[in-house]
Amino acid sequence: MDTSKNLSQVIRDRMKQDNKRFWAGDNISDYVDDNVKPELISEATAAFERVLDTLLIDRETDPNSKGTARRLAKMYYNEIMAGRYDPAPDATAFPNDSADRYEGMLVVRSELRSMCSHHHQPVSGVAYIGIIAAEKLIGLSKYTRIAQWCARRGTLQEELANDIAREIAKATGAKDLGVYIQAVHGCCENRGIMAHSSLTQTTVLKGAFKTDPGTKKEFMDNIKLQQEFAPR
Ligand SMILES: [Zn+2]
């Protein structure tokens, strides 16, 4: 190993060599595990210290800014971007292939907390995930775990809807599915247009959700019913 390089450089080089994409919304858990995280957090702490210095914030005497660099480094790795570094949540599947198998639609509402990759501003909202049950079923809480795992990265809402659809399809084997996300963006609220009530909606439809108007209507009606109970 080249000792003149720090750990994050070594890992970046390895990903480039493997042609592994490492955009803000990509999962790179094959390259980062719990053994290397403490060193990466230390490196990020030093880098955030330099950012605070350049912002002319006195982190030596301001008691509130003293530990900020390390808090930021830990928050990025362990919380707001954890979905980049953690492997996919374990979603044990149960067979749904007996004579009395469930063939209906299932719609799960999942709270989402994410961050826009352009400005690193918070995104908060809710995803409605609908599937027509296939040969496997997963526990209801797993839908939210998968959605959160996709959300806790730097994302765009359009990209996030696609990511959730792909990962739910992988975990359930469902070909017919829909993902509808409604979210407010810190980007719009805290900067630029300062719009406090702007809401963004994105919809991804696959299989029957896309081709069969009846299925699509049932999904949208389910969302409206859910919203009556938990308005957003
Ligand atoms: Zn933004």
The rounded Å distance from CA 143 to ligand 1 centre is: 26
pLDDT at 231 exceeding the cut of 60: no
**∠ Cα 106 109 110 (to 5°):** 130
CB 164 within 8 Å of CB 127: yes
pLDDT value, residue 182:
95
Residues above pLDDT 90, as percent of the chain: 80
The rounded Å distance from CA 63 to ligand 1 centre is: 30
Spatial distance between the Cα atoms of 151 and 155, rounded to a whole number of angstroms: 7
Q: What would the pLDDT profile of 38-55 be if each residue is shown by its tens digit?
A: 999 999 999 999 999 999
Average of per-residue pLDDT values in the chain: 93
* Type of residue at 20: K
Distance (Å) of CA 219 to CA 165, 194, 213, 224? 14, 33, 10, 9
Ranges 5-9, 36-40, 79-83, 136-140: which has the least confidence: 136-140
pLDDT value, residue 23:
97
pLDDT value, residue 196:
67
> Residue 156: left if φ>0, alpha if ψ -120 to 50, beta else—which one?
beta
The rounded Å distance from CA 3 to ligand 1 centre is: 36
The rounded Å distance from CA 82 to ligand 1 centre is: 19
pLDDT value, residue 2:
61
The rounded Å distance from CA 159 to ligand 1 centre is: 13
The rounded Å distance from CA 116 to ligand 1 centre is: 5
